[in-house]
Chain A
Amino acid sequence: MNINLVCIQDFEDHAFKVLPRSAFDFFRGGAGQETTLAYNNTAFSKFKIRPRCLKNVAQRDISTTVLGEKVSVPIGIAPSSLHKIAHPDGECATARAAQALGVLYTLSTGATCSIEEVAEAAPNGLKWFQIYVYKNRKITEDLIRRAEKAGYKALVVTVDVPVVGIRLADIRNRFSLPPHLGLANFEDRNSTDLMRSNKDGSGLANYVNSLFDASLEWRDIQWLKGITSLPIVLKGILTVEDALLAVEAGVEAVWVSNHGGRQLDGTPASIEVLPEIVKAVDGKVEIYLDGGVREGTDVFKALALGARMVFLGRPPLWGLAHSGEEGVEKVLQIIMNEFESTLGLSDSKSDQDV
Chain B
Amino acid sequence: MGKQFISTQIIRGHKSDVYDVAVCSKFTVSVSGDGHIKTWSHKGEEEPVNDILVDSLGLHHVDFWENDGILIIGTVAFSGILYLFQYIDNELVPLNCELKKNNWALKFHVGVEDQKHRLLTTQHNGSAEVYELTVEEGKFSLQHEKTLEDLNRTFALSIDVSSTEDSKIAIGYMNGTVSLYDFRTLRSSYTFTSTAIKSESSAVRCVKFSPGGTLLAVASDSESYGTISLYDVKFGEMAGSLIAPTNSNHAIGAGFAHERWCFSLDFNQDGSFLASGGMDQKVRIWDVTTREVEATITMALTDLPDDKLTDDLNSNSNIGCLSLKYFGKGIRQIDGDDRNEGLVLVGLDQSVRWYREAGGV
Say whether A and B bind each other: no
**Interface residues in chain A, defined as those with a beta carbon under 8 Å from any beta carbon in chain B:** none
